[in-house]
Structures are given as C-alpha cells and as structure tokens.
C-alpha cells in the first residue's frame, strides 16, 4: 500500500471514531483532501485510495489540476472545491469549475459569483466564511454581519448557500479550538431558527478535525495528514 493509501485509511478510521464518540452518522461527514502543492501523480494515488473530493486554495494552481487530462482519464468522477480566499477578479475562473466555493465573505463577492453563474446558466453552491476571532484569521465575515449576508445571498437566483465555514486560530492543543467550532455550529443553528436551511459546516483540518467532528463538522479539509508536510 502507498503511504497515501495508508494515511487515507488512518484518517478515515479517525473520522469514524470521532463520529462514533459524538453519536453521529459518519455518512454525513465528507473528507475533502487538500491538494495545494501536491502534484498530479500523488493526487492520482489519492483517487486510487478512494478519495472523491479535492480542495485547492489558489486559483492558478487549481486550474491546472481541475483541467488535467491525465487526472480526468484515471479518476472517473471527482469533485473540486475552492477552499481559499477568493478575489472578486478571479471569480470568473472558479465559478462552474468547482462544485463548492467554501470561503465567501462579502456581498460584493457573492454578487460577482451570482453574475458569473448566471452567465453560465448554472447555480453555484457556496459556503460563507465566518471570522471567529479578532486577530488570528484574516478573512471571513464578522458574526454581526453574518445574518444580513445570509439574507442577501439567499435572494440570488444563481447561488445556493449550503452552510458555513471557518478557519479558527491554530493551537498545538486541538482542544483549545473546540469553542470556535462550537461557535460556528451555534451561528448556523441561529440562522436555521431564522428560517434558512444550512446543512453544511466546513471546519477542521489535519491537527483538529476530530474535535471539529465532535462539534458537528460535515466537511473536514485535510492536507498534511494525507499527503505529508508541505514544503
């Protein structure tokens, strides 16, 4: 077995155990393999190991992989997610090529996504990125601005809002991240009480995904634990 296949197996086991601990059904937890800096050959190994959803955070690097002929012929059906910060002028390169855009954090950005999706005659699935701490995360909408943004985005015809995403501050001790994951879930629950249907919570990375699952993550974004340290 390749080291990637072994890592995928180990990560899946940890996801299952975290789901079990928190009384959740593992089928509602999607593993998104983060492939930034990872080359096509290693992505192919991940596909062979059974992974189906891949995440990229830079437009240029992502496009090469999404359009890779080599990957398409070997992979069958895989799904790409755009997980990084998206600039308005890059929206046209992302809409339609990625099943889900994880980190939408302004009205201006969602307007452009809606406009580009309309041009292509599609509905683009998105998540809203929430900034849960003052200093640590650069991007994301504040808690106060979240509900107004959800209301605005829900009016667009060519966007489907599926949920929320966050990148909490990094702690060596993953337990310290728990309040942030919990907070994102509470914000989602508040939005649901206000009549919005937001099933997805994209939260948790290599060092803290088990805590995120215990707090309700439906998508975990994992790079290092599958592909090893990035250079």
Ligand X SMILES: *Cc1c(COP(=O)(O)O)cnc(C)c1O
Binding site for ligand X (CB under 6 A): 34, 36, 57, 83-84, 167, 205-206, 221-225
- The minimum distance between CB 15 and ligand X, in angstroms, equals 13
- The minimum distance between CB 195 and ligand X, in angstroms, equals 29
Residue 199 or 228: which CB sits closer to ligand X?
228
- The minimum distance between CB 119 and ligand X, in angstroms, equals 27
- Three-state helix/strand/coil letters over the chain: CCHHHHHHHHHHHHHHHHHHHCCCCHHHCEEEEECCCCCHHHHHHHHHCCCCEEEECCHHHHHHHHCCHHHHHHHCCCEEEECCCCCHHHHHHHECCECEEEEECCHHHHHHHHHHHHHHCCCEEEEEEECCCCCCCCCCECHHHHHHHHHHHCCCCCEEEEEEECCCCCCCCHHHHHHHHHHHHHHHHHHHHCCCCCCEEECCCCCCHHHHHHCCCCEEEECHHHHCCCC
Residue 127 or 225: which CB sits closer to ligand X?
225
Residue 91 or 127: which CB sits closer to ligand X?
127
Residue 8 or 156: which CB sits closer to ligand X?
8
- The minimum distance between CB 35 and ligand X, in angstroms, equals 9
């Amino acid at each position: 077995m390749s080291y990637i296949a072994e890592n995928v197996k180990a990560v899946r086991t940890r996801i299952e155990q975290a789901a079990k601990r928190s009384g959740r059904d593992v089928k509602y937890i999607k593993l998104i393999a983060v492939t930034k800096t990872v080359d096509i050959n290693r992505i192919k190994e991940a596909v062979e190991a059974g992974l189906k959803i891949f995440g990229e955070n830079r437009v240029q690097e992502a496009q090469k992989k999404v359009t890779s002929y080599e990957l398409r012929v070997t992979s069958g059906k895989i799904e790409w997610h755009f997980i990084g910060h998206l600039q308005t002028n890059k929206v046209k390169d992302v809409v339609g090529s990625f099943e889900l855009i994880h980190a939408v954090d302004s009205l201006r950005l969602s307007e452009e996504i809606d406009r580009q999706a309309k041009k292509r005659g599609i509905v683009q699935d998105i998540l809203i990125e929430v900034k849960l701490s003052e200093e640590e995360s650069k991007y994301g909408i504040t808690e106060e601005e979240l509900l107004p943004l959800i209301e605005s985005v829900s009016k667009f015809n060519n966007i489907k809002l599926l949920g929320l995403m966050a990148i909490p501050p990094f702690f060596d001790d993953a337990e310290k991240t728990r309040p942030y994951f919990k907070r994102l879930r509470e914000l989602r629950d508040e939005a649901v009480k206000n009549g919005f249907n937001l099933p997805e919570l994209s939260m948790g990375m290599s060092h803290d995904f088990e805590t995120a699952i215990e707090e309700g993550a439906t998508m975990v974004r994992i790079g290092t634990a599958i592909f090893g340290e990035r250079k």
